[in-house]
Structure 1
Amino acid sequence: MELDDVHTILIIGPTSSDKNVDLSTALYDTVDILHQLGYKTSIIVEDPTSLLSSGVFYDKTVVEKVTGDNVLKFIQKYHPDAILPTVGDRNALGIISSLNGKIGTTKVLGASFSASLATFKRELFIKKLTKANLPVIKFISSDDEKEIYSFIRSIGFPIIARRRYSNRHSSGWTNINNLFELDNFMAMEDISDSRIEIERSIRGFSEYSFTILRDRYDNSSLIGTIEDIEPIGIHHLDSNLISPAISLNDSKLQRLRNYSIKLARAFNIVGICTVHFAYNHTTKESYITEFIPRLSEETKFLEYATSYPIATAVAQLCLGYHLDKLQLDAGNYFNGATEPYVDHLTSRFPQWKTPGQKYLGPSKTSDSSIVVNGFSLEEVLNKGALNDKLNNNFDRYNELRKLDDDELFEKIIHPTNWILDVLSEALRRKFEMPVLSEITGVNVPYLNALQNIINNSLIIREGEIDGKNVERMVEMGVKGVGHSKLLLDSHDIVTKTVVKNKRAVSVANNKYINHNYFVTSGISNELELSDRKKIIVRTPIITSKTDIMIRQFVLFQLAKSIDQNGLEPIIIGREPWNAPLSMRRKVVEIDDPHMEMKSLGLIEQDSVLNIIDLSKNLIDTGDDRVFQFSAQEIKNIELKGDTTVRVMVVTDGNNFLAPSVIYRGKRDNHLYEISSVNNFMTAEDRVEISKLIKQELEDNDKVDIFNFEMVKSNDHWLVTKKYRGMTNDIIRHELASSVHVIDTLVKLLLGNKIDDDLSLEKVFDNFDEKYLLTIDDKRYKLLDKEEIQEKLKELRLKEK
């Protein structure tokens, strides 16, 4: 069934971990199943923190800049049977396209050379789709004025145009609606080394994406669809996303599904392919705008929405497995050809750090996002984009009320991140819905949902709630967002907030259980818990990309440790966590956008041993079971030095361990960081650092984690910073040290103790074999003991 000549696989990893957070758990799932199936895997990666804890599965880990040259060097030295680029980012596809004809018998799994090249070369993309009779936007790149005008006559207005210079820079796209505007654009300063690029404008079309899985036998299935509420012209990640796409009727959906499968066939893609469409509901025009033949942020979102184990499936399809004979783990089969039937909506709403308005366009401006689930458009809008606790919508409402109709219309024409609030205000003022849809490109179902929310808000404010409308309002998530005290106090059973199972993919194996739930309103509580004692982990409200990376790592380690210690891990948070497949059947995940779980009483309190709080909001501080894991600054002294150490300490209240000491030295205008240097500390340093830690922990009598920063001044160490809880160094500490601090913490919370009178060697003990060297927070190297000794010797010779 599978490819019988592939035994060793080189994986091209993502470039920067904080920009490719969603690939980290996908990477873990990929190498986990490959390891279970008996393949030897190696990876080339720039930042090893993106591996989470999957490093145990690799035969070789190469920490180098992820370039075509370094991939080629690896192939020439180790001769892997195949390369897998699907868990890399766009850079991985660029590398594959550059290696054509250079890698001998080494196979490329997933995206072919032509598919990889077509993601960069627009001309090839158009040529391939045109040959396959697929709808694609016509495009020209020329310096011949006659050719340009002839092309425009063939496609008509509106168009977009830009100047492309020989240094690969461009002037940016200009919208052109008529001949007069075109003449003005062409009359701009002519630069000899530039070409003019022109294509049909699709601004204002609706944007959809379809994700297809395909095996080498030409079997395909549609895993999921995503719809942008905002139209094309606004960056995909600045738009509010809904899955599944609800504004497509069955005939439109089947048409775009068939196009997606046909594209995957045209490029002979084995594995995964996400196809983006522009669709005009008035003219019925549809165009394929791009395709992504790899795992991405979208596929991770879909994996959460549908419960389909996409990363695991893609790895096996690339190796030749049949779509209907995949494995969740070695020996546990499921039918991957079953297209997920989803019983709920999953929505992704972008977030901005600052409360003001940001104009939306083709460039991304959002900082992060939040994902919510619900059974209606109104519910997910109330939970997410229109949730005052997240977005200050009441302040927006008051500000928009002050505008006259002309000022409001200006905000409708030039969309900002307040677009849904603006449309709500416009509907409140009786602006016509078809006109608003035509101007903004927002489809009517969303405007109808906004109108329903407005109508219900009026009922709530006027207190006109009775048995006739209470059930409909609860269906819209009104009770869930806490807008109405009347509803909260209602004895009607439908107003009770409950936890619903997020049912989606039908898997042909009754052992596959997805313990994933979300808080909503309704009648029956579907939360399923075992009789094991529990540790609850509360996660952050909204996080940056870097914070998400740290959170994913910590949650995975916590969940794994809690399970291994015989307890049931329960993860509760506003932003859902998509656990690696190996943990998905062991951890209960509850998406709770309003932190209601703490007061619902759905978890038997006697069964809860501890509550680990990563949420940074310091709730329930009076509960002795709550352990605050997020960093709290205790000391910060402004004392700088060229040599510092960062020490992670775990204590049971009496004794402590320091299994990870990170050395940092500033030399010759470069910042060097070595993790961890426990095995290279001098006896004097051990004594002095241990003495300082004891002094700092004198008043502590509880289980805790501390992070210390110490500066070397006049040949002595001084404590300059002290944090209780987890800092951003947690990944580096955990990956660099062979002693897992998070697992040690869980054991201490369960009542284990650190031995008395430990020697300093035992306090600082770890059994590391590889050490992480970081230069200027950009370049990473994994070195062995002798190489680290040489580097430390070199750095210490330069100490002042």
Structure 2
Amino acid sequence: MVVSGIHNILIIGPTNSDKNVDLSTALYDTADILHKLGYKTTIMVENPTALLSSSDFFDKIVVEKVNGENILNYIEQFRPDAILPTVGDKNALGIISGLNGKIAGTRVLGTDYFASLATFKRELFISKLNENDLPVINFISSDKEEELYDFIRSIGFPIIARRRFSNRHSSGWTNINNLFELDNFMALEDSSSAKIEIERSVRGFSEYSCTVVRDRFDNAALIGTIEDVEPIGIHHLDSNLISPALSLNDSKLQKLRNLAIKLARVFNIVGACTVHFAYNHKSNECYITEFIPRLSEETKFLEYATSYPLATVAVELNLGYQLDKLQLDSGNSFNGASEPFMDHITSRFPQWNSREQRYIGPSKTSDSSIIVSGFSIEEVFNKGPLNDKLNDTLNRYEQLHKMDDDQLFEKIIHSTNWMLDVLIEAIRRDFELPVLSEVTGINIPYLVALRNIKDNSAIIRDDEIDENNIEKLVGMGVKGLGYSKVLLDRDDIVTRTVVKSKKSISVNMDKLRQRNFFVTSGINNDLEFTDKNKIVVRSPIITSKKNILVRQFVLLQLVKSINQNGLEAIIIGREPWSSPLDVRNIAYEIADPHMELPHLNLIDDKAIFKIIDFSKTLSDEDMNNNEVFQISTQVIKSIDMKADLSMRIIVVSDGKSFTIPSVIYRKMVGDKSYEISSFNKFMTEREKNEIATIVKEELSQLNQINTYNFEFAFINGHWMITKISAGMNQDIIRHEIASSVHVIDTLVKLILGNTLEHDMSIEKIFQNDDKNFLVTINDQKFQSYNEEGIRKLLNDKINPQ
């Protein structure tokens, strides 16, 4: 039975969409299921581009700084029945922990005040775990030397220590291995008001996380495990992640599972909860290091890996549904208590924009990540971190090959983002695996996989490929990699490369439609198509968090538009797309890191109606093919001119006519910048005519169906072009969300053969029906205004008379 008395729900959104893009699809799924279940939803968010949709499911969107004061003001004014903080980031839990006693009439769903506070208060977290016999790293904060030394004697070395100052800042953690190092640390002169914080060091332990779901009736299930290949001491987001955790035997896995479920019970978590563990395989010491009682980057990764709809399940559990009686949407039942069984491995590998080595430690340095799937460790390593197309591993190999053993050992001791390449070179020089495991903290199974990859590379390099080892090589994912390009010339490669479904939901979950595939090796393909005509969409490789958000948005809108126009979408990408639940049964998603699919001839050319390329990988053949439409950003013109007043517009063209559905107006006023989205309604006739004339002249040389991005600067009383690009750039989300005209759907209709009206009036070219407008101040602060508010802003602050 669902919780009664809840009709209106306030969702606390993520603070920064650029850093929390993994929560965007979770937020979308959450709003979607609440809408289908009949609830009224309001989202408070700082940047509405994180929503992936402007109005599909949200009854009200509040664009404000997400803090306790604004949340409290909204509650006092509109009196929602409940708050849902678990789709927001850590900031949302901080807000909930600070509102205790202030919102007695409003229910908090998923994570209560105490659990939220325990994620911030280390002492409270440790106290609660000790009280319930859960293993935790004990901790002391004191300015009394005698207390500190007594505590250290009770836990032993090694320890980590830092000073916490009265202004709430702290020094960095210092590793201390013996009494001599401790005495030196204590003797350092610092502020007399500082307290010293000490806890047992678990540096070098293996790091695991378990994500569990729990309902209010105390039913619980383990959804997935993740293992950091690198040990504790390397930041979680800079480590290579593997799911499921392969170095855990069944007894160790059950131990961590039981501890995670017990913790969820102790803190009365309803919904999803991720628990992090430090595990020493030699001593069997195990500690809970933290818990995350909300949706996060890890839950989104697991949702892709297992196909289990975590975001949807979590929100239904928050509403009081029983774990084994859930609904994917209105009317379709789903047994969330059935724990996923994965028949494959999914891995997430960090990416750095620079090709140089970066030392990695407890602070995050990576820029983004790539997800790959396979049936062996060797395959996912070859597809991901050792993929020469993604990581320039041949250049790394040449640099490492020139080092002597001492130089190489220094790279082993001090971890860098080249760690896997370094270890392969060390194994090539006959460094012993137990020694490498002892020094690096990396478990033996991963070192064995690296040794196999080294052996395979030697076979390929020495041209010793034959019928006895080729199947083994292909099964380890070596095709298309560096020296192994020779494999592509062999006929039997294609017959050994197949497309497999990510089968991970147990057999009684067949009601969950799953069209998520990856290219691997084997005998039979799982790919089966319907009779519908297809549009193939080639998805890009991701290089930054912002690019991920743009890709998620564009692919979502493309799939929905393709489906609404009666066709079926096939999304083919160098890495998978973590799609919202409501499009998983209307699109095929195929992860293809080595771009092998064109060689397999699995898709009948007659069934492909058009190809939309969003990947920047057009071949010469594609360039001459009228059926291929390139929509990734292609710069046509760029002039370096600066002005206090500028505009960015999006143009949709059918090759002959065009519309300008969205204009972003930008004005510098002193040291502040103001941007107003969908500015069409506030432009003068003169401005519209001037802009349209310039656009018409530029497009007359192109004659192509596409979207175009024009940037203008106002110089000497005239609008002048500073940049033109074709395709979808980072402004597409703001154009689409802020404008009443659906740009991507219009483009799809043009690709399908529709045309724009000829000889349109200026008003028709710039027409949209917007009533609300998005204002950005200093590229950070977003606010929503109605038409009257915009005119007042223009008159009072931006263009005062």
Report the TM range for the smaller structure's normalisation: over 0.9
Secondary structure, counterpart of 1:56 in structure 2 = coil
**Mapping for residues 184-199 of structure 1, pairs under 5 Å:** 184-199=184-199
Is the contact made by 2:358 and 2:417 (CA closer than 8 Å) also made in structure 1? yes
Q: 2-side partners of 1:15 and 1:621: how far apart?
A: 41
Secondary structure, counterpart of 1:671 in structure 2 = strand
Q: 2-side partners of 1:9 and 1:55: how far apart?
A: 16
- Read off the aligned partner of 1:594 and give its amino acid letter: H
Give per-residue Cα distances to partners, 1:697-750, cap 9 Å, x unaligned.
122222121111122233322222211111211111001100001000000001
Question: Structure 1 residues 610, 181: closer, same or farther in 2, change over 3 A?
Answer: same
Residue number among 664, 683, 686 corresponding to 1:684 in the alignment: 686
Q: Which residue pairs with 1:562 in the alignment?
A: 562
Secondary structure, counterpart of 1:308 in structure 2 = coil
Q: Which residue pairs with 2:780 in the alignment?
A: 778
Q: 1-side partners of 2:495 and 2:233: how far apart?
A: 40
Give per-residue Cα distances to partners, 1:424-443, cap 9 Å, x unaligned.
11111111111111111000
- Read off the aligned partner of 1:118 and give its amino acid letter: A
Is the contact made by 1:35 and 1:57 (CA closer than 8 Å) also made in structure 2? yes
Q: Which residue pairs with 1:767 in the alignment?
A: 769
Is the contact made by 2:54 and 2:737 (CA closer than 8 Å) also made in structure 1? no
C-alpha displacement of 1:492? 4.0
Residue number among 794, 797, 800 corresponding to 1:792 in the alignment: 794
C-alpha displacement of 1:696? 1.3
Is the contact made by 1:649 and 1:658 (CA closer than 8 Å) also made in structure 2? yes
Q: 2-side partners of 1:601 and 1:743: how far apart?
A: 29
Q: Which residue pairs with 1:697 in the alignment?
A: 699
Q: 2-side partners of 1:778 and 1:493: how far apart?
A: 50
Structure 2: gaps of 5 or more residues: none
- Read off the aligned partner of 2:577 and give its amino acid letter: W
Is the contact made by 1:28 and 1:54 (CA closer than 8 Å) also made in structure 2? no
Is the contact made by 2:54 and 2:738 (CA closer than 8 Å) also made in structure 1? no
Question: Structure 1 residues 246, 755: closer, same or farther in 2, change over 3 A?
Answer: same
**Mapping for residues 69-108 of structure 1, pairs under 5 Å:** 69-108=69-108
- Read off the aligned partner of 2:517 and give its amino acid letter: Y
Secondary structure, counterpart of 1:484 in structure 2 = helix
Root-mean-square deviation (CA, aligned residues, Å) is: 1.4
Give per-residue Cα distances to partners, 1:764-783, cap 9 Å, x unaligned.
11111110011111111111
Q: Which residue pairs with 1:53 in the alignment?
A: 53
Q: 2-side partners of 1:491 and 1:688: how far apart?
A: 59
Q: Which residue pairs with 1:145 in the alignment?
A: 145
Q: Which residue pairs with 2:476 in the alignment?
A: 476
Give per-residue Cα distances to partners, 1:427-472, cap 9 Å, x unaligned.
1111111111111100000011111111122222223233332222
Q: Which residue pairs with 2:376 in the alignment?
A: 376
Q: Which residue pairs with 2:731 in the alignment?
A: 729
Q: 1-side partners of 2:431 and 2:706: how far apart?
A: 58
1:668 is the counterpart of 2:667: no
C-alpha displacement of 1:474? 2.1
Q: Which residue pairs with 1:180 in the alignment?
A: 180
Structure-1-length-normalised TM-score = 0.98
1:389 is the counterpart of 2:381: no
Secondary structure, counterpart of 1:256 in structure 2 = helix
Q: 1-side partners of 2:688 and 2:489: how far apart?
A: 60
Q: 1-side partners of 2:617 and 2:170: how far apart?
A: 45
1:253 is the counterpart of 2:253: yes
1:320 is the counterpart of 2:320: yes
Q: Which residue pairs with 1:738 in the alignment?
A: 740
Worse-superposed segment, 233-242 or 189-198: 189-198
Q: 2-side partners of 1:768 and 1:523: how far apart?
A: 54
C-alpha displacement of 1:171? 1.0
Give per-residue Cα distances to partners, 1:70-116, cap 9 Å, x unaligned.
00111111111110001000000000000000002211101111110
- Read off the aligned partner of 1:699 and give its amino acid letter: Q
Q: 2-side partners of 1:63 and 1:440: how far apart?
A: 46
Q: 2-side partners of 1:485 and 1:46: how far apart?
A: 47
Q: 2-side partners of 1:61 and 1:122: how far apart?
A: 34
Give per-residue Cα distances to partners, 1:200-240, cap 9 Å, x unaligned.
00000000000000000000000000000000000000000
Secondary structure, counterpart of 1:110 in structure 2 = coil
Q: 2-side partners of 1:91 and 1:796: how far apart?
A: 32
- Read off the aligned partner of 2:227 and give its amino acid letter: E
- Read off the aligned partner of 1:671 and give its amino acid letter: S
Question: Structure 1 residues 608, 492: closer, same or farther in 2, change over 3 A?
Answer: closer
Is the contact made by 2:471 and 2:496 (CA closer than 8 Å) also made in structure 1? no
Worse-superposed segment, 505-514 or 707-716: 505-514
Q: 1-side partners of 2:422 and 2:706: how far apart?
A: 47
Q: Which residue pairs with 1:414 in the alignment?
A: 414
Secondary structure, counterpart of 1:408 in structure 2 = helix
Q: Which residue pairs with 2:278 in the alignment?
A: 278
Q: Which residue pairs with 2:43 in the alignment?
A: 43
Q: Which residue pairs with 1:268 in the alignment?
A: 268
Question: Structure 1 residues 160, 358: closer, same or farther in 2, change over 3 A?
Answer: same
Give % identity: 65
Q: Which residue pairs with 1:445 in the alignment?
A: 445
Q: Which residue pairs with 1:170 in the alignment?
A: 170
Q: 2-side partners of 1:2 and 1:149: how far apart?
A: 53
Is the contact made by 1:336 and 1:507 (CA closer than 8 Å) also made in structure 2? no
Structure-2-length-normalised TM-score = 0.98
Is the contact made by 2:213 and 2:220 (CA closer than 8 Å) also made in structure 1? yes
**Mapping for residues 286-297 of structure 1, pairs under 5 Å:** 286-297=286-297
C-alpha displacement of 1:196? 0.3
Is the contact made by 2:394 and 2:482 (CA closer than 8 Å) also made in structure 1? no
Secondary structure, counterpart of 2:299 in structure 1 = helix
Q: Which residue pairs with 1:498 in the alignment?
A: 498
Q: 2-side partners of 1:210 and 1:338: how far apart?
A: 16
**Mapping for residues 207-226 of structure 1, pairs under 5 Å:** 207-226=207-226
Worse-superposed segment, 297-306 or 777-786: 777-786
Give per-residue Cα distances to partners, 1:548-591, cap 9 Å, x unaligned.
11111111011110111011111111121111111010011110
Q: 1-side partners of 2:349 and 2:799: how far apart?
A: 52
Q: 1-side partners of 2:396 and 2:636: how far apart?
A: 37
Q: Which residue pairs with 2:709 in the alignment?
A: 707
Q: 2-side partners of 1:637 and 1:470: how far apart?
A: 53
Is the contact made by 1:480 and 1:497 (CA closer than 8 Å) also made in structure 2? no
